Amino acid sequence: MKWFSGRPLPVAILSGVAFAVTPAIILLSVGFAVSIFKRNELPSIAKDGLAFFYFWILFLLETAAYLTLAGISFTAGRELWNLKDRGRRLANVAMVLYGLLGLVFFVIREKWSLIAGPCTCAFALLYLIYLQLPATRRKFEVSSRT
Protein backbone atom coordinates (compact mmCIF):
# COMPACT_ATOMS: atom_id res chain seq x y z
CA MET A 1 0.00 0.00 0.00
CA LYS A 2 1.83 3.00 -1.30
CA TRP A 3 0.09 5.73 0.65
CA PHE A 4 1.17 4.28 3.98
CA SER A 5 4.78 5.02 2.83
CA GLY A 6 6.62 3.70 5.86
CA ARG A 7 3.89 4.73 8.28
CA PRO A 8 3.14 2.06 10.91
CA LEU A 9 -0.35 0.61 10.51
CA PRO A 10 -1.48 1.53 14.07
CA VAL A 11 -0.43 5.15 13.45
CA ALA A 12 -2.36 5.21 10.17
CA ILE A 13 -5.43 3.78 11.91
CA LEU A 14 -5.19 6.30 14.76
CA SER A 15 -4.80 9.12 12.28
CA GLY A 16 -7.89 7.98 10.38
CA VAL A 17 -9.87 7.59 13.59
CA ALA A 18 -8.84 11.08 14.70
CA PHE A 19 -10.12 12.53 11.41
CA ALA A 20 -13.34 10.51 11.59
CA VAL A 21 -14.04 11.40 15.22
CA THR A 22 -13.73 15.15 14.66
CA PRO A 23 -17.13 15.64 12.96
CA ALA A 24 -18.69 13.11 15.33
CA ILE A 25 -17.60 15.18 18.32
CA ILE A 26 -19.03 18.33 16.75
CA LEU A 27 -22.32 16.52 16.06
CA LEU A 28 -22.35 15.22 19.63
CA SER A 29 -21.98 18.78 20.89
CA VAL A 30 -24.81 20.00 18.66
CA GLY A 31 -26.99 17.06 19.72
CA PHE A 32 -26.32 17.86 23.36
CA ALA A 33 -27.34 21.48 22.81
CA VAL A 34 -30.49 20.50 20.90
CA SER A 35 -31.55 18.05 23.60
CA ILE A 36 -31.14 20.73 26.27
CA PHE A 37 -33.13 23.33 24.40
CA LYS A 38 -35.86 20.86 23.36
CA ARG A 39 -36.74 20.13 26.98
CA ASN A 40 -37.81 23.73 27.42
CA GLU A 41 -36.71 23.66 31.07
CA LEU A 42 -34.18 26.44 30.81
CA PRO A 43 -33.78 28.60 33.91
CA SER A 44 -35.34 32.03 33.67
CA ILE A 45 -33.28 35.09 34.48
CA ALA A 46 -36.34 36.69 36.06
CA LYS A 47 -37.12 33.74 38.36
CA ASP A 48 -33.60 32.59 39.27
CA GLY A 49 -30.77 34.74 37.97
CA LEU A 50 -28.04 32.61 39.58
CA ALA A 51 -29.32 29.36 38.02
CA PHE A 52 -29.57 31.16 34.66
CA PHE A 53 -25.96 32.34 34.99
CA TYR A 54 -24.70 28.89 36.02
CA PHE A 55 -26.57 27.21 33.19
CA TRP A 56 -24.97 29.41 30.53
CA ILE A 57 -21.50 29.16 32.05
CA LEU A 58 -21.73 25.35 32.13
CA PHE A 59 -23.22 25.23 28.64
CA LEU A 60 -20.41 27.39 27.23
CA LEU A 61 -17.77 25.30 29.04
CA GLU A 62 -19.26 22.08 27.64
CA THR A 63 -19.34 23.50 24.13
CA ALA A 64 -15.76 24.78 24.43
CA ALA A 65 -14.61 21.38 25.73
CA TYR A 66 -16.18 19.51 22.80
CA LEU A 67 -14.81 21.96 20.23
CA THR A 68 -11.35 21.84 21.82
CA LEU A 69 -11.38 18.06 21.73
CA ALA A 70 -12.46 18.16 18.08
CA GLY A 71 -9.64 20.59 17.25
CA ILE A 72 -7.06 18.48 19.08
CA SER A 73 -8.29 15.35 17.28
CA PHE A 74 -8.14 16.97 13.85
CA THR A 75 -4.67 18.42 14.40
CA ALA A 76 -3.38 15.19 15.92
CA GLY A 77 -4.76 13.22 12.96
CA ARG A 78 -3.04 15.48 10.45
CA GLU A 79 0.26 15.49 12.34
CA LEU A 80 0.16 11.72 12.95
CA TRP A 81 -0.34 11.14 9.24
CA ASN A 82 2.78 13.22 8.59
CA LEU A 83 4.62 11.35 11.40
CA LYS A 84 5.32 14.56 13.30
CA ASP A 85 6.27 14.28 16.98
CA ARG A 86 3.77 17.05 17.71
CA GLY A 87 1.04 14.72 16.47
CA ARG A 88 2.19 11.99 18.82
CA ARG A 89 2.12 14.40 21.76
CA LEU A 90 -1.31 15.74 20.78
CA ALA A 91 -2.57 12.18 20.39
CA ASN A 92 -1.34 11.47 23.93
CA VAL A 93 -3.36 14.43 25.21
CA ALA A 94 -6.37 13.33 23.18
CA MET A 95 -6.13 9.77 24.52
CA VAL A 96 -6.17 11.07 28.10
CA LEU A 97 -9.21 13.23 27.30
CA TYR A 98 -10.96 10.34 25.55
CA GLY A 99 -10.21 8.15 28.57
CA LEU A 100 -11.90 10.73 30.79
CA LEU A 101 -14.83 10.90 28.37
CA GLY A 102 -15.07 7.10 28.55
CA LEU A 103 -15.24 7.32 32.34
CA VAL A 104 -18.03 9.88 32.06
CA PHE A 105 -19.89 7.55 29.69
CA PHE A 106 -19.46 4.72 32.18
CA VAL A 107 -20.80 6.85 35.06
CA ILE A 108 -23.96 7.73 33.07
CA ARG A 109 -25.11 4.10 33.50
CA GLU A 110 -27.40 3.79 30.49
CA LYS A 111 -27.29 0.79 28.15
CA TRP A 112 -25.33 2.53 25.41
CA SER A 113 -22.89 4.11 27.85
CA LEU A 114 -22.10 0.83 29.62
CA ILE A 115 -20.66 -0.36 26.30
CA ALA A 116 -19.28 2.94 24.99
CA GLY A 117 -17.50 3.84 28.23
CA PRO A 118 -15.25 0.78 28.60
CA CYS A 119 -14.64 0.62 24.84
CA THR A 120 -13.55 4.26 24.75
CA CYS A 121 -11.31 3.78 27.81
CA ALA A 122 -9.75 0.62 26.35
CA PHE A 123 -9.07 2.28 22.98
CA ALA A 124 -7.53 5.31 24.69
CA LEU A 125 -5.38 3.21 27.02
CA LEU A 126 -4.10 0.91 24.26
CA TYR A 127 -3.10 3.81 22.01
CA LEU A 128 -1.63 5.75 24.92
CA ILE A 129 0.61 2.76 25.67
CA TYR A 130 1.43 2.25 21.98
CA LEU A 131 2.44 5.88 21.50
CA GLN A 132 4.83 5.61 24.46
CA LEU A 133 6.69 2.55 23.16
CA PRO A 134 10.35 3.30 22.39
CA ALA A 135 10.07 1.98 18.82
CA THR A 136 7.09 4.23 18.14
CA ARG A 137 8.81 7.26 19.66
CA ARG A 138 11.90 6.64 17.51
CA LYS A 139 9.78 6.47 14.36
CA PHE A 140 8.38 9.93 15.11
CA GLU A 141 11.75 11.39 16.15
CA VAL A 142 13.43 10.16 12.97
CA SER A 143 10.61 11.47 10.81
CA SER A 144 10.55 14.85 12.60
CA ARG A 145 14.28 15.39 11.95
CA THR A 146 13.95 14.91 8.20
pLDDT at 144 over 80: no
Task: Supply the pTM of this predicted model.
Answer: 0.79
pLDDT one-digit tens code per residue, 20-59: 999 988 998 888 888 888 877 777 777 888 888 888 898 8
118 vs 6, more confident: 118
**In degrees, to the nearest 5, what angle opens at C-alpha 7 toward C-alphas 142 and 145?**
20
DSSP notation for 82-128: TT-HHHHHHHHHHHHHHHHHHHHHHHH-SHHHHHHHHHHHHHHHHHH
pLDDT one-digit tens code per residue, 76-131: 999 999 889 999 999 999 999 989 988 988 888 788 888 988 999 999 999 999 99
Contacts of 10 (CB under 8 A, 6+ apart): 127, 130
- The residue-averaged pLDDT of 69-78 equals 93
45 vs 133, more confident: 133
pLDDT at 64 over 70: yes
Q: Are 18 and 74 in contact (CB under 8 A)?
A: yes
Using the 8-state DSSP alphabet, how is residue 47 labeled?
A: T
